[in-house]
Structure 1
Amino acid sequence: MSIADSASRVNVAYDWLLAEITAFRLASGAPLSENRIATHLGLSRTPVREALQRLETEGLVKRTDNARFSVSTLTPREVNDACDLLQVLDTYIFMKAAQEHDAEVSALIIETVEAMVEAAAAGDRQAWSDADLRFHRVVNQVAGNQLVSETVKHTRRRIQRFWTRAASAQDRLVGCSAEHMELAEAIVARDTDAIPPAVAKHIGHMRVSILEKLEAASVFFGE
């Protein structure tokens, strides 16, 4: 088997596990059997283990005392640490994007946020998530710092599954879309003074929503 074939099999396992975890089809704390996953995907255990190790480095999977894997849970401290980091890095990214964007990018940024607004009004969670992903991808590309972009992606992904649940109510989607529009307009206008408070407001709402969701679901541990 070639290196490319091996990498492809790892990616298949990784993509499946990521989708199952972030969609809550695999719940927090759920054990992850390499044999069962491999059988389900028609793979050997090796690519499944490599995918699990990759997810472990991203904080979505952890090793148990018997060296097996399970879906990670979150503590309040981890949520707060992640939100603190996102606030700093998102502010940097949006500030960079405000300085570097051109007319074509401006139009694309507004277009993606308008798609979020429309999806929120329609209560279409999937369309909203897709537009949100496009927005952050565009802004990250314009900012041009790959290391920061990757750190933000992994940090956001670690808590996004709880944010998705917390933001499922239509009124929160509408409010979040308005926050994104505020950020988009600041970027397009190159209004760097407006970006830090807008990011702080958005991350603050995310923080509260996730903590409330975790508390309601009784998934706190270790505090």
Structure 2
Amino acid sequence: MTSAKSSASGKREPQSLSAEQVCERIRSAILRGELKPGAKLTEQDLAAEFEVSRTPVREAIRQLEVERLVSRTPFVGVTVTRLSPEEVIELLDIREVLEGLVARLAAVNMDAAHLQRLKKSLQQLGASAKKGDVAGYLDHALAFRRVLVECCRSATLAEFVLAIENRLRLAGSRTAMLPGRMEAAIREHEALLDAVARHDGEAAERLNRERIQHIRDAVAKSISFSIL
């Protein structure tokens, strides 16, 4: 994480960051994997990193606790949350229901501009899968889902989906690396796109729920091999 800007003379200039800005920087570092599950966070170190007092850091940590991206343990302190396999399965069960509804609403509200964005994301998704580019694949899969969320036109649903999505990102990307998983996902996204393009909300919901069920099954199988 980088905390200070450089002036024309090359000297570092302190930034005045709000608690919200500090929270966003820590959150981004967690979601990008720069801060790994189990990593310890201290107010002193973070305040020094961002060149702020401990007050905005303390407020940021409280918000991240609410989001359950960090956890506070007696005699240990604050650490990046480490999800158990059971928690991952539970979150995927919830995600299945929420994103099924997203797909249904998105199919009803889909317009030409958003449909074009979905097609582009799917093309990029396929290209990344062919190259074995897991990071690119995950980025484009996320972009595909974000377009669907935009089209569902429900701020409340979008908020819940984002909260679950962020927590699941703590589990990493191991299921995408399972043999055949990316290729299967491409076919699932193609079928979903077809249903959405036809404005078939019922089919879109069923297909998106089935897609997430397949992810859940892959995670469940991976647990026995200590992948998560």
TM-score interval, smaller chain: 0.7 to 0.9
1:69 & 1:199 partners in 2: Cα distance?
A: 36
2:226 & 2:59 partners in 1: Cα distance?
A: 30
In structure 2, the CA distance between the partners of 1:208 and 1:33, relative to structure 1 (3 Å rule), is farther
Are residues 1:140 and 2:149 paired?
Answer: yes
1:55 & 1:188 partners in 2: Cα distance?
A: 37
In structure 2, the CA distance between the partners of 1:135 and 1:66, relative to structure 1 (3 Å rule), is same
After TM superposition, the structure 1 = structure 2 runs for residues 12-161 of structure 1, keeping only pairs within 5 Å, are 12-66=21-75, 68-161=77-170
What 5-or-longer segments of structure 2 have no aligned partner?
A: 1-14
**1:147 Cα deviation after fit:** 0.8
| Amino acid in structure 1 at the alignment position of 2:185 | C
Q: Percent identity?
A: 27
SS of the residue 1:26 aligns to: coil
Are residues 1:172 and 2:207 paired?
Answer: no
Moved more, 116-125 or 202-211: 202-211
What 5-or-longer segments of structure 1 have no aligned partner?
A: none
Contact 1:96–1:143 (8 Å) recurs in 2: yes
1:16 & 1:192 partners in 2: Cα distance?
A: 37
In structure 2, the CA distance between the partners of 1:206 and 1:13, relative to structure 1 (3 Å rule), is farther
2:195 & 2:75 partners in 1: Cα distance?
A: 50
Structure number with greater Rg is 2
**1:15 Cα deviation after fit:** 3.3
In structure 2, the CA distance between the partners of 1:50 and 1:181, relative to structure 1 (3 Å rule), is farther
1:79 & 1:144 partners in 2: Cα distance?
A: 27
Contact 2:41–2:79 (8 Å) recurs in 1: yes
1:217 & 1:38 partners in 2: Cα distance?
A: 36
| Amino acid in structure 1 at the alignment position of 2:215 | M
1:85 & 1:112 partners in 2: Cα distance?
A: 24
What is the Cα-based RMSD across aligned positions, in Å?
2.6
Structure 1 stretches of 4+ with a deviation exceeding 6 A read none
Contact 2:37–2:170 (8 Å) recurs in 1: no
**1:214 Cα deviation after fit:** 5.5
In structure 2, the CA distance between the partners of 1:213 and 1:21, relative to structure 1 (3 Å rule), is farther
**1:161 Cα deviation after fit:** 3.2
| Amino acid in structure 1 at the alignment position of 2:53 | S
Deviations 1:38-82 (A, max 9, x none): 222333222222222222111111111248311112234322321
SS of the residue 2:202 aligns to: coil
**1:96 Cα deviation after fit:** 0.5
| Amino acid in structure 1 at the alignment position of 2:29 | E
Contact 1:162–1:210 (8 Å) recurs in 2: no
In structure 2, the CA distance between the partners of 1:166 and 1:180, relative to structure 1 (3 Å rule), is same
**1:94 Cα deviation after fit:** 0.6
